[in-house]
Amino acid sequence: MSDNELYIGLISGTSIDGVDCSLVSFTDNKPNLIATHFEKSPSALRESILTLCQGTNISLHMLGETDIAIGKFFAFAVNRLLKDKDLTASDIRAIGSHGQTIWHQPISDNPFTLQIGNPNTIAQLTGITTVADFRQRDITLGGQGAPLAPLLHREVFHSEVIDRAVINIGGISNVTMLPSNNIPLAFDTGPGNVLMDYWIGKHQRERFDKNGEWASKGSTDNDLLNYLLSEPYFSWSPPKSTGRELFNGPWLERKLKELGKAIDPADIQATLLDFTVSSLSSAISGLPRPQEIYVCGGGAHNAELMAKLALANPQSSVSTTTGLGIDADWVEAVAFAWMAKQSIEGKKMDSSAFTGASEPAILGGIYQA
């Protein structure tokens, strides 16, 4: 198998703003980002996904149709990228599709995680072999099924001389600790943008708070901040993972009602931003302090959040993964292209340090074109 074969990575994250589509080549198993395409999610599809994520008052009809609709949406994004770059399906070895998470329940008598975006549909409509459903095998092995992007972080961002942390701030945040001479560690720290997106959507009908501009106009309410930080999840030891099934709009509304305090909406937005920063910084503070922190995901564009993250971690330099060679917007999409390559080549991946899985395994099912 040639080292420069092309792979495509797809991910629609917790924010559900659209699908990231990355075209990746490899040299000695190291990814090279060749081209990208972002396809914004249609409003109707996004609303269907959000309804499914609530986990109540849903039907099998809605679940089945949304699964296929997401598969078509992902395939459309892939075909758009191929057309833009004058490529054909035969130029691509495989697609790695994370899918759209609608429920994540790694701790129960029958643990599971559910990502939809039908891979049969993607393979058929693109003509490209598709690797999908990466998380469930990990859960079967006693792991959390998430986060998985740290598998790539370890491969490409580790330094033998500098202690690093890689923070992904999407809807949910996760941190990957990469000590120079020790065992890596990764886990979900809690909300990233998910609550801020909900709040600005409710009050200003925007999908996200650009640059944290609305949050910067408010003042943090410490009573609310401390109450949010009292959520039991934050006291759990890794490995741990979370998602919209815990941190969501109704959760926030319930917390506000329980606190019983009138707070200006802009102040709540400011508090939610500090909530993300505080939960991240608290997670890092309990571990050996990294010399360098690199941020990826949508949160890397939030200037207010980045400034406060740097302020809360004065012992570390804070920048984005772009400085390490992978654009901060595309790390997760690249990760699933890389994971598809491992699966296609029959290579087992060791996620034990990140998810708690009991042994290495080939992750993902392969759907031949």
Confidence at residue 4, expressed as pLDDT on a 0 to 100 scale: 60
Give the gyration radius of the chain's Cα atoms.
20
Task: For residue 250, count other CB atoms closer than 10 A to its CB.
Answer: 10
8 A C-beta contact, residue 363 and residue 350: no
8 A C-beta contact, residue 290 and residue 281: no
3-state per-residue secondary structure call for the chain? CCCCCEEEEEEECCCCCEEEEEEEEEECCEEEEEEEEEEECCHHHHHHHHHHHHCCCCCHHHHHHHHHHHHHHHHHHHHHHHHHCCCCHHHEEEEEEEEEEEEEECCCCCCEEEEECCHHHHHHHHCCCEEECCHHHHHHCCCCCCCCCHHHHHHHHCCCCCCEEEEEECCEEEEEEECCCCCCEEEEEEECCHHHHHHHHHHHCCCCCHHHHHHHCCCCCHHHHHHHCCCHHHHCCCCCCCCCCCCCHHHHHHHHHHHCCCCCHHHHHHHHHHHHHHHHHHHHHCCCCCCEEEEECHHHHCHHHHHHHHHHCCCCEEEEHHHHCCCCCCHHHHHHHHHHHHHHCCCCECCHHHHCCCCCECCCEEECC
Q: φ, ψ for residue 309 (rounded to 5)?
A: -65, -40
Rounded Cα distance, 92 and 28, in Å: 18
Rounded Cα distance, 318 and 333, in Å: 22
Rounded Cα distance, 180 and 160, in Å: 5
Which CATH number fits the domain 6-145+331-367, given the four candidates 3.50.20.10, 3.90.1150.10, 3.30.420.40, 3.40.50.300? 3.30.420.40
Rounded Cα distance, 53 and 245, in Å: 7
Is residue 242 left, alpha or beta, with left meaning phi > 0 and alpha meaning psi from -120 to 50?
beta
Print pLDDT tens along the chain (369 aa): 344 689 999 999 898 999 999 999 998 889 999 999 999 999 999 999 999 999 988 999 999 999 999 999 999 999 999 999 999 999 999 999 999 999 999 999 999 999 999 999 999 999 999 999 999 999 999 999 999 999 999 999 999 999 999 999 999 999 999 999 889 999 999 999 999 999 999 999 999 999 999 999 999 999 999 999 999 999 999 999 999 999 999 999 999 999 999 999 999 999 999 999 999 999 998 788 999 999 999 999 999 999 999 999 999 999 999 999 999 999 999 999 999 999 999 999 999 999 999 999 999 999 999
Sorted by where each begins, the domain ranges of the chain are: 6-145+331-367, 150-324
Confidence at residue 28, expressed as pLDDT on a 0 to 100 scale: 87
- The pTM for the full model equals 0.95
Confidence at residue 287, expressed as pLDDT on a 0 to 100 scale: 83
Architecture of domain 150-324: 2-Layer Sandwich (3.30)
8 A C-beta contact, residue 170 and residue 297: yes
